[in-house]
Amino acid sequence: MKRLFSTDVVFLHAPSVYDFRRDTIFFGPISDVVPSSPAFEMYPMGITSLAETLEKNGYNVRIVNLAYLMLRDPDFDPEKLIARLKPRLFAIDLHWLPHAHGSLEVAQLCKKYHPDIPVAFGGLSSSYYHEELISYPYVDFVLRGDSTEEPMRQLVSSLRQGQADFSSIPNLTWKKPDGQPVVNPLTWIPDNLDYTTIPSYRYVMGSVFKYGSLHNTMPYLDWLSYPITALLTARGCTQNCSICGGSRSAYARICGRQKPAYRSPKALVEDIRFIKSFGKAPIFILHDIRQAGMDYAREFFGLLKKERIPNELIIELFFPADEEYFRLISESVPRFSLELTIETHEEHLRRLNGKFKCSNAAVEATIAAALKYNCRKIDLFFMTGIPGQTYQSALASIDYCRQLLEKFNGDKRLSLFIAPLAPFLDPGSPAFENPEKYGYIKHCQTLEDHRQALTRPSWKHILSYETTTMSRDEIVEATYEAAYRLNELKREYNLIPEEVYEDIRYRITQARQIIAEIDRILLIPDEEVRQLSLQKLKARVAELNRHTICGKDELKWPLRRRFAGLWSLGKLLTMLFLEEVKRVGLRLRGNYDQHPLEMG
């Protein structure tokens, strides 16, 4: 009876660097163009799908976002919380490599207080480094691949039954009792995503009710004030961008996936219908819908038109689009915005990199078509540190931004950004696997290399690479100079308020000074004096560790409403309560594992 209500699995999301509140580390702009902070408190959405699958099969599953809790409360002690938890299994994500330090530190804490409770890792980075990861004494399992819902269910089922032989579980790397590692075949590779929901907002909402904690599952620090949601349309990609760990060749290498697995248009619209029941903020549709073909896109938007959703959609583009596409979107949703990452204005570099392999004229025609069909906002991203880029080329991207503003008469719907490829070159990406071809010089190769790099005192020294055309110093300076010039350009065209302009100008100036001061401190031979000198910078570093190169609200889309009304929320919570009552009944009867997944 006690086990009936106890927790079977606890998913722990660690900060990028476990000691980020104590150590002086200037992360700079590495998270300025994503919703989360440099602690990268946003956990991978696949965790919710894993949790939902386990809950459907009778298990009690909690997600605990340690990174969020540590950011929210300076006095929160993650070690005390971990000591109190007693699940069958701790599951820690290492999806994005910037978590290489925090995730391993959290794993050590789990073993410190619970030496007999196994620890599992999962995610793309875990999959890439699974053999190195399993060699750590505090890691017992690594679930490999991009779709581990069923392998995870089988693992938890085996643990519940007290089994010690896990050789039949697909995608699993594990240890025998004598410590010998075993790598099971990577065979669980579903060819569609309709078997689950990604992410599972049903699980997230239900867990708030079930476990009585709103904050454990918060995706990022200010989500309650800006509750944007997202949906994953595919696992895998048709594109093969050189610096992307989620590229076509990376998925083949890491996950054994030869082609993308898509969520059907019908299932996506059902997901949107559920989101609509609790939230009215924008919904980000991850990946370019057209990857699956225009018939797929037409079906999706046709179904969406019938749904009459109030939410704005954020649409991602991987390649140019024409007027027909934007007409289709505008007829289906009340409002939409775009995300385009072209990385550089230089067409030959885009061809080398594999991103937006088209002419600038095609990029501009796409922007013009979107604006014609009343796109509310177009976020256009450039990058420093890409293959073949020089210092002058990086700065010339801002000249191209000026050309765009001139061409489109300073249209305020055009939002321009530039950010560095930081902190790491993605393992599994074409550039990581073939650095000479793309002009990269790698400073980190192993998981341990990356873990150690994250403890260095500035993002310049954390960078895992430089290129044959730019040193680390040049990448850092190109980032700040380009951002400085872009800030001036935005002010000239009245794209940002004066106070935002002044704030970013101040922050870039201060950031350059901090980089120089840290470089000088690192030359101090005495370790104790060096650490004391770094500690004196801590307050200034903390002030500048966010929103250095663009305003904190520049990436946000305007909100009309945040959440649904009380009636809709009440109906939703009642439904989730009844679902949980049904699951309790199944557990009382010992009916576990009634919903195994099948590939199809």
Q: Domain holding 56: CATH number?
A: 3.40.50.2300
Tokens of 497: 């308020």
pLDDT band for 581, please (50, 70, 90 cuts).
confident
User: For tokens 């048709």, what's the residue?
Assistant: 238
Q: Is the peptide bond before 29 cis (omega within 30 degrees of 0)?
A: no
Among the ranges given (329-333, 352-356, 394-398, 556-560), the one the predictor scored with the smallest mean pLDDT = 556-560
Q: What's the rounded mean pLDDT across residues 300-306?
A: 97
Average pLDDT of the residues in 219-232 = 90
Measured CA to CA, the distance from residue 543 to residue 538 in angstroms comes to 9
Would you say residue 592 lies in a domain? no
- The single-letter code of the amino acid at 549 is I
- The string over 499-515, giving b where at least 16 C-beta atoms fall within 10 Å of a residue's C-beta and e elsewhere, is ebbebbeebbeebbebb
Residue 557's nearest CA partner among 338, 372, 371 is: 338
Residues 185 and 242 in one domain: no
Q: Is residue 186 part of a domain?
A: yes
Across the range 30-54, mean pLDDT stands at 92
Taking the CB of residue 600, how many other CB atoms lie within 10 A of it?
A: 8
> Are residues 288 and 392 part of one domain?
yes
On whether both 174 and 238 belong to a single domain, the answer is: no
Question: Is residue 509 in some structural domain?
Answer: yes
Dihedral over alpha carbons 76, 82, 86, 88 (to 10 degrees) = 130
Q: What pLDDT shows up at residue 599?
A: 66
Residue 174: phi and psi, rounded to 5, are -150, 175
DSSP string, 228-245: -EEEE-EES-S---TT-T
Q: What pLDDT does 600 receive?
A: 54
Percent of the chain with pLDDT over 70: 99
Q: DSSP letter at 98?
A: G
Same domain, yes or no: 163 and 262: no
Three-state DSSP class for 128?
helix
**Co-location of 188 and 241 in the same domain:** no
Query: Tell me, what's the pLDDT at 1?
Result: 46
Q: What pLDDT is recorded for position 335?
A: 96
512 Cβ contact partners less than 8 Å away, ≥ 6 residues apart: 477, 480
Q: What is the pLDDT of residues 402-422, one digit of tens each?
A: 999 999 999 999 999 999 999
Q: How far apart are CA 138 and CA 106, in angstroms?
A: 10
pLDDT in the model for residue 129: 98
pLDDT tens for each residue of 174-208: 999 999 999 999 999 999 999 999 999 999 989 98
Q: Is residue 532 part of a domain?
A: yes
232 shares a domain with 146: no
> How confident is residue 236, by pLDDT bands cut at 50, 70 and 90?
very high
Same domain assignment for residues 257 and 175: no
pLDDT tens digits, 439-476? 999 999 999 999 999 999 999 999 999 999 999 999 99
Host domain of residue 78: 2-193
3-state secondary structure of 250: helix
Q: Kindly report, residue by residue over 45-60, the tens digit of the pLDDT.
A: 999 999 999 999 999 9
CB 140 within 8 A of CB 120: yes
Last residue of a domain, one of 141, 176, 193: 193
Q: What distances in angstroms separate CA 292 from CA 146, 288, 322, one per listed residue?
A: 18, 9, 17
CA gap 74, 420 in Å, rounded: 29
Residues 80 and 26 in one domain: yes
Which of 494, 526, 544 is the endpoint of a domain?
A: 544
> Which parts of 258-390 fold into alpha helices (H)?
265-276, 294-307, 323-330, 347-353, 360-372
CB atoms within 10 A of CB 310: 13
User: From start to end of 353-445, where are the E strands?
Assistant: 378-384, 414-420, 440-442
- Percentage of residues of the chain with pLDDT beyond 90: 85
| pLDDT at 560 exceeding the cut of 90 | no
DSSP state of 26: B
What pLDDT is recorded for position 195? 93
Predicted local distance difference test score (pLDDT) of residue 211: 86
pLDDT tens-digit profile of 91-132? Answer: 999 999 999 999 999 999 999 999 999 999 999 999 999 999
Q: Would 479 be classed as within a structural domain?
A: yes
Q: Is residue 569 part of a domain?
A: no
Residues 81 and 130 in one domain: yes
User: Are 189 and 334 in the same domain?
Assistant: no
Q: How far apart are the first and last CA of the chain?
A: 37
Rounded to the nearest integer, the mean pLDDT of the chain is 94
* In-domain check, residue 298: yes
With H, G, I as helix, E, B as strand and everything else as coil, classify residue 439: coil
Torsion of CA 273, 336, 346, 396, to 10 degrees: -120
Give the domain-ending residue among 176, 193, 210: 193
200 in a structural domain: no
Average pLDDT over residues 262-282: 94
* Structural contact between residues 188 and 154, judged by C-beta atoms closer than 8 angstroms: no
- Is the pTM here over 0.75, yes or no? yes
Q: How far from the centroid of its chain's Cα atoms is residue 457's Cα? A: 23
Work out how many domains the chain is built from and give that number.
2
Report d(CA 599, CA 245) in Å as an integer. Answer: 24
Look up residue 50 and give its two tokens. Answer: 């894993």
CATH code assigned at 507: 3.80.30.20
* pLDDT higher than 80, residue 5: no
How many angstroms separate the CA atoms of 55 and 58, rounded? Answer: 5
The counts of H helices and E strands in the chain are 25, 17
One domain for residues 9 and 119: yes
Same domain, 311 and 258: yes
182 SS3 class: strand
Of the ranges 21-25, 193-197, 381-385, which is most confident? 381-385
Handedness of CA 446, 468, 398, 457 (dihedral sign): positive
Is the separation of the CB atoms in 469 and 388 below 8 Å? yes
pLDDT above 70 for 4: no
Structure tokens at 43: 């956990």
Q: CB of 477 within 8 A of CB of 394?
A: no
- In our burial notation (b when 16+ CB lie closer than 10 A, e otherwise), range 373-397 reads bebbbbbbbbbbbbbbbebebbbbb
